[in-house]
Structure 1
């Protein structure tokens, strides 16, 4: 580790200590989500289970709640529930990353943990250079930077970042989010025999390819993996126009199901499907764990979407990561299921009722707004409407006549109610995790997911209330 890197890490650690009291005094500080100790968090990086321990890194700007020359912050966990904040993994100290250690991934090789990330460089005029870099660790905590292993291939602008690396057979593959010289978003594929010398195989997906029309000017944070017999490409396209209930955020995150031809470097795929229909979800990353599960974590935020208006900024921090989710491919659908380990968080059983007949009269449940809890509902076939009112924070509604489910929240910008919706068909299950300033909702076993930050008035105690028409076969809730 160079003296410059040691100095940058020391400055970041001092910033954490200096602001500890003001950060931790925030009533919106989350209780079971990963957050920055100070400053801004964005993309999850380097998600891996290594030597039995889960490691999850994140993009971090310690010195302000805006973006800038990013570090890699680092959490570790034995069980995906209790997390330890580790020392800074990467600081932007070298010439090839001086304007930020941008997003990337982790692999295991020869017993070491190896990180791949984007080194971002800008000159005084704002002209950008980009390098895909490598760092190696024997202990999973301190990293030895090896410098750039991929320079910018021909055909792309310097918006070429977020390497995700995996091994197939004896060879290593890398997908990179990119912008081609015609200013359209792409995913580039590279291959290596030794993961040091990389051959660019070409773009395998993007705007104007594989039957897609105009589909954005930049694709970020790609991830490509096999899941139950299909190849899944996750990407975060920028520049999509909203389309009915779809693409309602400034930028989107979603997936394509297809087949990657490794020999010919082609990827035939179907339509783009959003992973999360809520207000805050972007740049997810997956890993395969030792149980054979494909796990995913996303950023509970969206770039350039009122980031400067978040109420937590007054306490010197902003943004969080989602709960870990297991991905499953079942009957032609990609399901997202909260990992089973989260059941360990359950404490007092707040509610347990069976065969409840809903009515227009709102029934209060013994849970206060602003609490942290998990709620599970299973519904009868006669469900025609459902309204879960979470006080001043949020409301969940379903109308069988229109087959529409909606998440409503009070805007933290205007104070007005705002909505995200999807077509659902019959609603059979609803599972929600409420933290002090977030909600994650899983419908029908993870067929649709809604994630959002919610900021209730902490000075007003509200009650959780349920109304509608039809049968709730079972409802359970736990304090977390």
Structure 2
């Protein structure tokens, strides 16, 4: 085993070695969280603790691929300006030697408790998983307490990503799992003290109930109350496409229902994808001091052409979404960019009233690689409307079919690929463009599309058959 001190020194050396190379990348983002070097994936331990937001993340600093993960660490006072802290967790102990995998954070007795999965493999590749605890007095330095849960009977070692919360005087933990008969499941545990945990059973999935036959693995579960309902977010693996649904390699979404903390019973509805774009996975939420339920997600998908991104030649890979506030509207989880994002706006908005009649219009003063666009009062009397963002992304709405489409030029082979959803009408669009990422919010949070893309220019072009709308544009500050 390599010591914690040595691993930290090696990480610092790697960051320094490739700092200039990373910063030379023309596709480096302006206002999204990225790794200083190497690969970033799942958000971990998202919490507002004392006067700061803390976002930990899965980090492989030594290559742009997966491996024995560290916990990287960002802090922020406002969810907009982020400071990269020293490494929070290194895979330095026997119970985590092949990676400190994903987990969560909770405050207790004035301290921060983080729970994570210790990944262990032997020389033959056989896996063991341990749910581990580390405690911090300052939010920066962590004292590892070691495993608190081992894999119970009935599950394979694909047993990871603990999310902990407090409810009705006790602590609960959900863990992403796979049963012995290779069914995706969420396992439920309870505790009185955060160190001794009892296995209640399967919360959902595992061959029974509405999600009994729903893929072979559930990752990154997150359970919370929203609008009087119990929401369970998770990322199922092994789904096959159905119509416009499930077209990424793996999915991320939620079910809505009612959780009984006395019995551990959870009755819920159908699974809904949280984001319809190409790149969205492993979302995690926190409840902040304003009472907002805030979500951040990894803007990528595992095993989905990850090694084809052009940023790899500059020694870095992947980023997070912008923070989003969640609300429950008519039984559906909707997402809204947090209000603090508006502090990135520079100056007054540029405004256009557009009337499009079977034509295409190039909007010169709307272009930019770090911008926010708002389209309001959209009226499409018939036919269609589209907006092209550079030469690598296009938004299309067919009023006749009631279908919204995000098109992207593949960074793998240059072919056009699509993600879609049904939409009764299109009333408003809010778009965040950041060099090589685009996040689209339809009808003020009704649907979302998040994707990486790699344009060669940043002109904005609109067109359609019979369309009227108001268009606003802001330049957004560079903070990264």
- Measure the CA separation in 2 of the matches of 1:305 and 1:466: 30
CA contact (8 A) 2:60 2:66 kept: yes
Q: Provide, for residues 12-57 of structure 1, a one-character-per-residue CA deviation record: whole Å limited to 9, x for no partner.
A: 1110000101111000000000000000000000000000210001
CA contact (8 A) 2:156 2:178 kept: yes
- Measure the CA separation in 1 of the matches of 2:381 and 2:236: 36
Look up the SS of the partner of 2:95 in the other structure: coil
Q: Does residue 366 of structure 2 align to residue 372 of structure 1? A: no
- 1:322 is matched with 321
Return the offset for 1:10. 0.9
- 1:282 is matched with 281
Counting only pairs closer than 5 Å after superposition, residues 20-419 of structure 1 correspond to structure 2 as 20-349=19-348, 351-354=350-353, 356-367=354-365, 371-384=369-382, 385-419=384-418
Taking a change above 3 Å as real, the CA distance of residues 136 and 187 of structure 1, as seen in their structure-2 partners, is: same
- Measure the CA separation in 1 of the matches of 2:53 and 2:378: 38
Taking only aligned residues, the RMSD between alpha carbons, in angstroms, comes to 1.4
Return the offset for 1:318. 0.5
Look up the SS of the partner of 1:359 in the other structure: strand
Q: Provide, for residues 293-337 of structure 1, a one-character-per-residue CA deviation record: whole Å limited to 9, x for no partner.
A: 000000001000001111100001100000000000012221100
Structure 1 window deviating more from structure 2 (182-191 vs 206-215): it is 206-215
Look up the SS of the partner of 2:470 in the other structure: strand
- Measure the CA separation in 1 of the matches of 2:108 and 2:404: 45
Return the offset for 1:417. 1.1
Q: Provide, for residues 186-227 of structure 1, a one-character-per-residue CA deviation record: whole Å limited to 9, x for no partner.
A: 000000000100000000111533223521000000000000
Q: Does residue 478 of structure 2 align to residue 466 of structure 1? A: no
* TM-score, length-scaled by structure 1: 0.97
Return the offset for 1:360. 2.2
- Measure the CA separation in 2 of the matches of 1:470 and 1:271: 37
Structure 1 window deviating more from structure 2 (467-476 vs 183-192): it is 467-476
- Measure the CA separation in 1 of the matches of 2:161 and 2:129: 10
CA contact (8 A) 2:368 2:459 kept: no
Return the offset for 1:289. 0.2
- Measure the CA separation in 2 of the matches of 1:243 and 1:19: 43
- 1:475 is matched with 471
- Measure the CA separation in 2 of the matches of 1:367 and 1:192: 57
Taking a change above 3 Å as real, the CA distance of residues 435 and 144 of structure 1, as seen in their structure-2 partners, is: same
CA contact (8 A) 1:350 1:367 kept: no
Taking a change above 3 Å as real, the CA distance of residues 63 and 114 of structure 1, as seen in their structure-2 partners, is: same
- Measure the CA separation in 2 of the matches of 1:305 and 1:111: 40
Q: Provide, for residues 245-304 of structure 1, a one-character-per-residue CA deviation record: whole Å limited to 9, x for no partner.
A: 100000000000011122221211110000000000000000000000000000001000
CA contact (8 A) 1:96 1:121 kept: yes
- Measure the CA separation in 1 of the matches of 2:97 and 2:437: 34
CA contact (8 A) 1:386 1:467 kept: yes
CA contact (8 A) 2:393 2:406 kept: yes
- Measure the CA separation in 1 of the matches of 2:15 and 2:244: 40
- Measure the CA separation in 2 of the matches of 1:437 and 1:370: 12
Taking a change above 3 Å as real, the CA distance of residues 68 and 163 of structure 1, as seen in their structure-2 partners, is: same
- 1:10 is matched with 9
CA contact (8 A) 2:167 2:261 kept: no
Return the offset for 1:463. 1.8
- Measure the CA separation in 1 of the matches of 2:251 and 2:208: 18
